[in-house]
Structure 1
Amino acid sequence: MSQLYKWIFEEGKNEDVHKTILTSQTGSYSLDDIRQEVNKYCSLLTQLGPVQRKRVAFMIPYASSFLSLLLAVNRLGAVAVPISPFLRSEDLSRLLEFINPHVILTIRQHQNFQFFNAVSQWAHGTGEETIIYDSVKGDHWKATVVAGMPKPVESEPVDIIACTSGSTGVPKGVMVDFNFIQFGDAALSAALSLSASDKVLGIVPFSGLFGLCLMVVSIKKRLHFVATESFHFPDIIRLLHTHPVNKLVTSPSLFRSLYLLAKKPVLEPLELIGLAGERITADYIEAVRPIDHCRIISIYGLTEIGGVMFSKNDVRQGMDWELVPGVEAAIVNAPDKREIGELVVKTPNGFLGYYQRPDLTQEAYRDGWFYTGDVARMTESGAIEIVGRKKEMIKKGGQQVIPGEIESLLASHPSIFAAAVVGIPHPIFGEQIVAFVVPKEHVSDTNLYSFCRERLASYKVPDHIFTIDEIPVSQGKADKVKLQQLATKRIAARE
């Protein structure tokens, strides 16, 4: 532990510590600014006793404070538990109950949600000692000690527990160590060709492992990293106006929205766009084809394993994956060599398992191979083709239906902007297919059903198609739990 802190602040290195290395909506910061803030957080965290091997959770929407707190927790030998500041009461309480942190640092309120009240209410209900630090703007902190029985500390060396909540409805904690960050350095450097002269914008949640890793690796390389603290597009566009960047990393859906809303001059300085977190479909490629002044690549990975492969060429020239050095990949449980199976990968990264879930760890990690849960096939040329998520596969009347195939088709309709497909229970067929579409213009259900029937096998045609203003998102991806709940309500209303 504390390796991450030492890695960032190399002792004896001769460099300009006043060079700007981090910019966000709240300001610009040098390496010296970050170091001073780390020292401040170290003093704060130890004023009520040592925190070594204790779980320190933090909900901070400000990039510099988030980074400094992460490094301070690591320097003190504690376990960092970054939590998204976009969670709300139910998800937040469920996640806190699962992780049960010893120390919590939280903004008092954010986007009209009273974080301190929610955290305090949870802590008082545990019967265990919890220390809460709260702040209005992340500068001045107030300590509250909730009395109770002491909590056991972590027995195994863990640097970070990354929490997921919302997209599956059940919290998971992904445990990683410093090796994960080092592997992320190799993966991102290979995919994005990072150098100290780059100026990189990350439109990704830095509370998630991918965004966290992107920020930390960028700071390590002493390039200028621009972090968005808001996913409100006018804020992002203003940030791009004042801080032009040559590289951008985000999800396909977020970039598509940015591309539609931003004026061309804002995007002109871009040389490379790295897209991660979602599958890139044929209709998406057509939508971004007019962007002819820069390369667009795709990065494939998961929270547990980081980025493990990236497209060698521009995605508009075809998806030709290249494995990150040190990574192996295979497709298992495929009935035939060219049929679909599950993608498994072997990496040298620092994934240590799921927090308090050895059963999930054993299920996902077997004989050194990580079972991704992604459905893929091997093409005739030997290339890997990602088809969809195994867990999202719909089983209707004994047939397996991949939602991504229907989503891609619907999104290719000239009147449709975006689509998402889910399966919900059906008393006879096991599951039924429900599609949600965001229209560009008015289009009738009859038109969409006919469009699908002409192009899909009959069992793949959606049983229901609903219009929606926007696709709900969780952790940067379509929130299929919410869509399943909405589908159930709308079908009940129809009946």
Structure 2
Amino acid sequence: MNLTTRLAQIAKQLPDKEAYVFMGERCTYQQLDAAVSRFADGLAQLGIRRGDHIALLLGNSPQFVIGLYGALRLGATVIPINPIYTPEEIGYILLNGDVKAVIGLDLLAPLFAGAKQRLPLLKQAIVCETPQGKEKGISLSDEMKSFAEVLAAGDSSFAGPELDDDDVAVILYTSGTTGKPKGAMLTHKNLYSNAQDTADYLGIDEHDRVIAALPMFHVFCLTVALNAPLMNGGTVLIMPKFSPAAMFALARKEKATIFAGVPTMYNFLYQYEGGTVADLQTLRLCISGGASMPVTLLENFEKKFNVIISEGYGLSEASPVTCFNPLDRPRKPGSIGTSIKNVENKVVNEYGEEVPVGEVGELVVRGPNVMKGYYKMPEETAAALRDGWLHTGDLARMDEEGYFYIVDRKKEMIIVGGYNVYPREVEEVLYSHPGVVEAAVIGVPDPDYGEAVLAFVVKKQPELAEEQLLAYCRERLAKYKVPSEIRFLDELPKNATGKILRRALKEQLAASRV
């Protein structure tokens, strides 16, 4: 079983059940399954074959759902990419990911046109037309196809090839500690098992109406708010963009039962004066992930809106869910919960030996959800997958009842509104500026986004100003990766070998605030 065969199964069992609702548009499972087959056939007519890599650069929309499932039904491998990435960031993934076709917004059409000249494997661009694109007068070149055109050309009876569980379904690019993103290869078995095991653990079924406010290109939304409900006959309430007002209105109008978000979203919802307990009265569960939620926020939110928040844990390499606070036992604020069905978590020392209850070590995971490896990175794969376990790099402890607690995150990682930012990625950009001698980046608390990026720079050009350097970063980094502030220093703290000490910068910053 895989995502697309299960979708077809649900379409036969519940043909008239709503699969998704988007901006007032309602689509049944029968209609969705037919659209998926038509789009898969349309892709096949363009020369896309089983095993080809297709990049998906779309926001939350029906086109994302149809594009994803259509490509999977054809047996292609999907590479979801954040459409607000810079051309440089997108270009790296398209090149490294050996992408043959892209499906994206018309606003990105000029980028696709230029990219084809630099990417020899890129043969096809399928474009989704938008009102913004029409306003800007963006027109499609003769080489491009519109999404609607590809969909209309296909046959709804198209079944696609028989797929193997071990075939790579999706490659998710995650920021790497060495600067360049790594592509985690997730198989059909990885994605389907994690969607079903998460759904079983949280009791997601055909009666649920799940708000998809998180970006669908992010694995948290992909599994928890899209695949899990679709695999069980639920309805996905698609939000094109998150806002507190829109979320409260959608929950009330569509009688939502589940909301999944990152702590930043819960903070915005809690602070929004227009939200009431009546808006969320149909919710049976809120799900939080992507970053640790402050216990005070969790308790305040639950008290204000009379709804339970279940905090969990996951990572792209595990499709992503490994833990959730259970619904049939006491929930422990501050904990990521217990292992979900079919997934094992344990805490080990540097030798891979399990540590006693209560002691801190590295969290490792194994199960049918764990990735096949990193695309074209055998050394990184061998380092992450050892003795059958995925090494997360996160420090954790487990209590006597099997609840896990994250003690510290991956070394130096910064989480901005649920998105991972690795300091070196930002530092590489800063170092590329001719006026910069040295740079170091750390995360600092932010009341709205959890953390913000703070950069320390030693400059060789006295006239170099903060705004100049920030503008330089904005051209080369996604918005959430751009430093919120740049501080200039005469020198950066280093150890005896000359290594820059980010920890010392954090300590200096903390001391200055006392």
Give yes or no for contact 1:329–1:344 (8 Å, CA) kept in 2: yes
- Report the AA paired with residue 490 of structure 1: R
Question: 2:300 matched to 1:280?
Answer: no
Quote the Cα distance in structure 2 between the aligned partners of 1:436 and 1:268. Answer: 32
Give yes or no for contact 2:87–2:111 (8 Å, CA) kept in 1: yes
- Report the AA paired with residue 390 of structure 1: K
Question: 2:381 matched to 1:353?
Answer: no
Partner of 2:180: 170
Quote the Cα distance in structure 1 between the aligned partners of 2:185 and 2:256. Answer: 32
Structure 1 regions of 5+ residues with no counterpart?
110-114, 147-154, 394-402, 408-419, 441-471
Q: Is the alpha carbon distance of 1:168 and 1:259 closer, same or farther for their aligned partners in structure 2, counting shifts above 3 Å?
A: farther
- C-alpha offsets along residues 148-207 of structure 1, whole Å, 9 cap, x if unaligned? xxxxxxx98311112335998522211111111232233322332112111111222111
- Report the AA paired with residue 127 of structure 2: D
Q: In structure 2, the residue corresponding to 1:200 is in which secondary structure? A: strand
- The count of aligned residue pairs is 414
Of the three residues 321, 329, 341, the one matched with 1:325 is 341
Question: 2:16 matched to 1:7?
Answer: no
Partner of 1:19: 17
Give yes or no for contact 1:341–1:377 (8 Å, CA) kept in 2: yes
Q: Is the alpha carbon distance of 1:221 and 1:57 closer, same or farther for their aligned partners in structure 2, counting shifts above 3 Å?
A: same
Q: Is the alpha carbon distance of 1:330 and 1:16 closer, same or farther for their aligned partners in structure 2, counting shifts above 3 Å?
A: closer
Alignment of 1:120-269 (within 5 A): 120-137=113-130, 144=143, 157-164=167-174, 169-214=179-224, 215-261=226-272, 262-264=274-276, 265-269=278-282
Give yes or no for contact 1:422–1:435 (8 Å, CA) kept in 2: no
Quote the Cα distance in structure 1 between the aligned partners of 2:190 and 2:27. Answer: 25
- Report the AA paired with residue 126 of structure 2: Y
Question: 2:313 matched to 1:300?
Answer: yes
Q: Which moved more, 1:292-301 or 1:312-321?
A: 312-321
Quote the Cα distance in structure 2 between the aligned partners of 1:27 and 1:167. Answer: 42
Q: Is the alpha carbon distance of 1:294 and 1:436 closer, same or farther for their aligned partners in structure 2, counting shifts above 3 Å?
A: closer
Question: 2:419 matched to 1:389?
Answer: no
- C-alpha offsets along residues 425-466 of structure 1, whole Å, 9 cap, x if unaligned? 9xxxx98976344499xxxxxxxxxxxxxxxxxxxxxxxxxx
Q: Is the alpha carbon distance of 1:185 and 1:42 closer, same or farther for their aligned partners in structure 2, counting shifts above 3 Å?
A: closer
- How much has 1:273 moved relative to structure 2? 0.7
Quote the Cα distance in structure 2 between the aligned partners of 1:493 and 1:422. Answer: 20
Quote the Cα distance in structure 2 between the aligned partners of 1:381 and 1:266. Answer: 35
Q: Is the alpha carbon distance of 1:220 and 1:436 closer, same or farther for their aligned partners in structure 2, counting shifts above 3 Å?
A: closer
Q: In structure 2, the residue corresponding to 1:159 is in which secondary structure? A: strand
Partner of 2:325: 311
- How much has 1:230 moved relative to structure 2? 0.9
Question: 2:112 matched to 1:119?
Answer: yes
- C-alpha offsets along residues 194-236 of structure 1, whole Å, 9 cap, x if unaligned? 1211111122211122322231221121112212221244333
Quote the Cα distance in structure 1 between the aligned partners of 2:189 and 2:202. Answer: 20
Quote the Cα distance in structure 1 between the aligned partners of 2:448 and 2:227. Answer: 39
More strand by share: 1
Alignment of 1:41-120 (within 5 A): 41-109=39-107, 115-120=108-113
- C-alpha offsets along residues 399-418 of structure 1, whole Å, 9 cap, x if unaligned? xxxx99xx9xxxxxxxxxxx
Q: Is the alpha carbon distance of 1:361 and 1:35 closer, same or farther for their aligned partners in structure 2, counting shifts above 3 Å?
A: same
Quote the Cα distance in structure 1 between the aligned partners of 2:144 and 2:257. Answer: 46
Q: In structure 1, the residue corresponding to 2:26 is in which secondary structure? A: strand
Partner of 1:464: none
Give yes or no for contact 1:37–1:65 (8 Å, CA) kept in 2: no
- How much has 1:318 moved relative to structure 2? 6.0
Alignment of 1:415-494 (within 5 A): 435-438=444-447, 482-483=482-483, 486-487=484-485, 489-492=486-489
- How much has 1:88 moved relative to structure 2? 3.0
Work out the percentage of aligned pairs sharing the same amino acid. Answer: 22
Quote the Cα distance in structure 2 between the aligned partners of 1:125 and 1:15. Answer: 47
- How much has 1:38 moved relative to structure 2? 1.7
Q: Which moved more, 1:278-287 or 1:206-215?
A: 278-287
Partner of 2:430: none
- C-alpha offsets along residues 349-368 of structure 1, whole Å, 9 cap, x if unaligned? 25111111111111111011
Q: Is the alpha carbon distance of 1:242 and 1:86 closer, same or farther for their aligned partners in structure 2, counting shifts above 3 Å?
A: farther
- How much has 1:68 moved relative to structure 2? 1.4
Q: Which moved more, 1:128-137 or 1:360-369?
A: 128-137
Quote the Cα distance in structure 2 between the aligned partners of 1:326 and 1:242. Answer: 36
- C-alpha offsets along residues 97-153 of structure 1, whole Å, 9 cap, x if unaligned? 2213111121102xxxxx111122122123445211223149x9976279xxxxxxx
Query: TM-score, normalized by length of structure 1?
Result: 0.73
Q: Is the alpha carbon distance of 1:26 and 1:286 closer, same or farther for their aligned partners in structure 2, counting shifts above 3 Å?
A: same
Task: Calculate the aligned-residue CA RMSD, in Å.
Answer: 3.9
- Report the AA paired with residue 125 of structure 1: R
- C-alpha offsets along residues 316-365 of structure 1, whole Å, 9 cap, x if unaligned? 65637221122222222269744422111111225111111111111111
- Report the AA paired with residue 342 of structure 2: G
Quote the Cα distance in structure 2 between the aligned partners of 1:439 and 1:84. Answer: 21
Quote the Cα distance in structure 1 between the aligned partners of 2:7 and 2:37. Answer: 14
Q: In structure 1, the residue corresponding to 2:317 is in which secondary structure? A: coil
Give yes or no for contact 1:21–1:219 (8 Å, CA) kept in 2: yes
Of the three residues 328, 340, 348, the one matched with 2:360 is 340
- Report the AA paired with residue 444 of structure 2: A
Give yes or no for contact 1:331–1:377 (8 Å, CA) kept in 2: yes
